[in-house]
């Protein structure tokens, strides 16, 4: 982009939204993964799911502290996203441990892709804190192996999880669209920041491609 993103009208409001949705997403992911940790079938898996959950909470904390340092009230910034994120989780309640695992891996991947895309439109400082929250040190990789092992001997589970993955993507995109309509400043950051609608379309194509790659990695049709 040619112009300084932070000069655009409504930029500050857009950054508040972005940090808010990112922070609340991490806090909710923490809660959901801790619930998956509760139903994990072995102590080793509990330990690994707990690690994922804790990493999410620590990301939430970094984002929250960054907001406070920038004079942004984290709770006010997160509030608009409570309903759409709750709706996403309400509509995608995992039935059992494996669906929870796939949701953790796929949902986390979609969210991170989206934030990675959005971080191209923000100032360097915001970029830094967003990228910090995107790091996961590969803790989720164990999921791939578990899913692969589970479906090797059970093709009906493979079919069910493939459908599940499609539903997760559909619900995520549908909630993202609802948020975009509701939060004008954030949408304007994307479209107003010199991004044409064709580019937005390509962004969605990239998100979908990455989702398919993740499904393939788990051995699932997408």
Q: What does the binding site for its own copies look like in residue numbers (CB under 8 A)?
A: 24, 27, 30-31, 34-35, 37-38, 42-44, 46-47, 50-51, 53-54, 57-58, 60-61, 64, 74-75, 78-79, 82
Q: Is the torsion defined by CA of 77, 21, 67, 125 positive or negative?
A: negative
End-to-end CA distance of the chain: 33
As measured in angstroms, the least distance from the Cβ of 147 to its own copies is: 22
CA distance 157 to 166: 14
Closer residue to its own copies, CB minimum distance, 6 or 51 = 51
Instruction: Name which of 8 and 67 has its Cβ closer to its own copies.
Output: 67
Which lies closer to its own copies via its Cβ, residue 9 or residue 96?
A: 96
Smaller CB separation from its own copies, 47 or 216: 47
Is residue 218 within 8 Å of residue 105, measured between CB atoms? yes
CB of 53 to its own copies, least distance (A): 7
Please state the closest distance from residue 8 (CB atom) to its own copies, in A: 28
22 vs 2, 138, 163, CA distance in Å? 26, 19, 27
Least spacing, CB of residue 114 vs its own copies, in Å:
22
Cα(127)–Cα(131) distance, rounded to whole angstroms? 6
Contact present, 27 and 60 (Cβ < 8 Å): yes
Nearest to its own copies of 42, 153 (CB atom): 42
CB of 9 to its own copies, least distance (A): 28
At residue 179, φ and ψ (nearest 5 deg) are: -65, -40
């Amino acid at each position: 982009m040619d112009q300084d993103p932070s000069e655009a009208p409504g930029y500050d409001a857009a950054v508040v939204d972005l940090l808010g949705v990112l922070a609340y997403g991490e806090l909710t992911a923490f809660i959901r993964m801790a619930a998956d940790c509760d139903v994990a079938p072995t102590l080793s898996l509990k330990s690994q799911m707990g690690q994922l959950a804790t990493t999410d909470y620590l990301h939430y904390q970094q984002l929250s502290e960054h907001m406070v340092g920038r004079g942004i009230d984290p709770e006010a910034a997160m509030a608009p996203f409570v309903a759409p994120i709750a709706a996403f989780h309400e509509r995608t309640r995992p039935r059992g441990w494996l669906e929870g695992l796939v949701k953790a891996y796929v949902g986390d991947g979609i969210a991170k892709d989206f934030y990675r895309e959005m971080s191209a439109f923000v100032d360097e400082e915001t970029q830094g804190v967003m990228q910090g929250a995107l790091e996961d040190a590969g803790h989720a990789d164990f999921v791939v192996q578990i899913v692969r092992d589970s479906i090797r001997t059970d093709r009906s589970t493979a079919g069910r999880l493939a459908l599940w993955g499609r539903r997760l993507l559909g619900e995520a995109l549908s909630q993202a669209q609802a948020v975009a309509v509701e939060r004008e400043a954030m949408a304007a950051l994307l479209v107003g920041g010199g991004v044409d609608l064709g580019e937005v379309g390509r962004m969605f194509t990239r998100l979908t491609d990455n989702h398919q790659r993740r499904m393939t990695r788990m051995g699932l049709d997408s």
